Amino acid sequence: MAFSPIRKVFQGVADRRQMFRMFDRHAQRPDRRRNDGSSLYAGEWFEIGQAEHDYMFEVLPPVILAVDMFALREFLTGSITSIFFTLWIDGRARYFHSYCDLADVGSGRRMREAIVERESRPVRAMTRQERLEHIWSSTHDDYRGYAGEGWPAPDQGKRIVTVYGRRHGTTSKLLDGLTDAEISEKLPVHLRYLPDAVAA
């Protein structure tokens, strides 16, 4: 389940309900009590609206890291905390949430650079991994989880989602094992036909 590379986990602008859901996308992980999950959260980011950004600024006294970014004083796990950005991209202000490791002095700067690079692309596109992350972020907890004892040992602990098969009924399948057709079916219509992006 280890991740850590910087990655976009939701396509579009998350509203307040979606934002709070994505604050803990890995709440169901089976090793939650034994492992702090830092590598799962570090590097995740998604876009939010100005109202959500301002709301989080006012919830608790923030740690100001720079003119365009602040962090929450409460840590999610280990040295991982929420960092919120106000970034000017293509001439307009946009707002983002990310998880960065404050023990790594350069993590906020690298996150900022990665977001600006990703969102400055002239063609709107998604990588396969971004499609999978969006599916995970937008799937209700009842229809996503982690492979347990009934799965082959190498797959246990990996993320699974419910798939609706016409012939075989409802079944669970590894998120990373979804076919292109299954990914398309699980994405909202406005995201299904975006061009593929080459992973950076």
How many other CB atoms sit within 10 Å of the CB of residue 190? Answer: 9
Q: Which of 119, 139, 158 is the endpoint of a domain?
A: 119
Q: What pLDDT is attached to residue 200?
A: 45
Q: What pLDDT is attached to residue 94?
A: 97
pLDDT in tens, 23-64: 988 888 877 666 666 788 889 999 999 999 999 999 888 888
Answer yes or no: do 28 and 57 share one domain. yes
Ramachandran angles phi, psi of 64, nearest 5°: -80, 120
Answer yes or no: do 56 and 21 share one domain. yes
Number of structural domains found in the chain? 2
Q: What separation in angstroms does the CA of 17 have from each of 14, 78, 126? A: 8, 25, 23
Residue with tokens 């939701």: 10
For residue 142, give the DSSP letter: G
pLDDT in tens, 62-90: 888 888 999 998 888 888 999 999 999 99
Average predicted confidence (pLDDT) for the chain = 87
Tell me the DSSP string of 122-171. Answer: SS--B-HHHHHHHHHHHS-GGGEEE--TTS-GGGTTSEEEEEEETTTEEE
Is residue 46 domain-resident?
A: yes
Structural domain boundaries enclosing 181? 128-192
Give yes or no for residue 122 having a pLDDT over 70.
no
Is residue 92 domain-resident?
A: yes
**Among 33, 45, 31, which residue's Cα sits nearest to residue 2?**
31
Answer yes or no: do 96 and 66 share one domain. yes
Structure tokens at 37: 């999950």
pTM of the predicted structure, to 2 decimals: 0.88
Ramachandran angles phi, psi of 95, nearest 5°: -125, 140
Q: Which of 119, 153, 170 is the endpoint of a domain?
A: 119
Answer yes or no: do 45 and 103 share one domain. yes
Answer yes or no: do 186 and 159 share one domain. yes
Q: Which of 95, 119, 143 is the endpoint of a domain?
A: 119
Answer yes or no: do 21 and 95 share one domain. yes
Answer yes or no: do 14 and 104 share one domain. yes
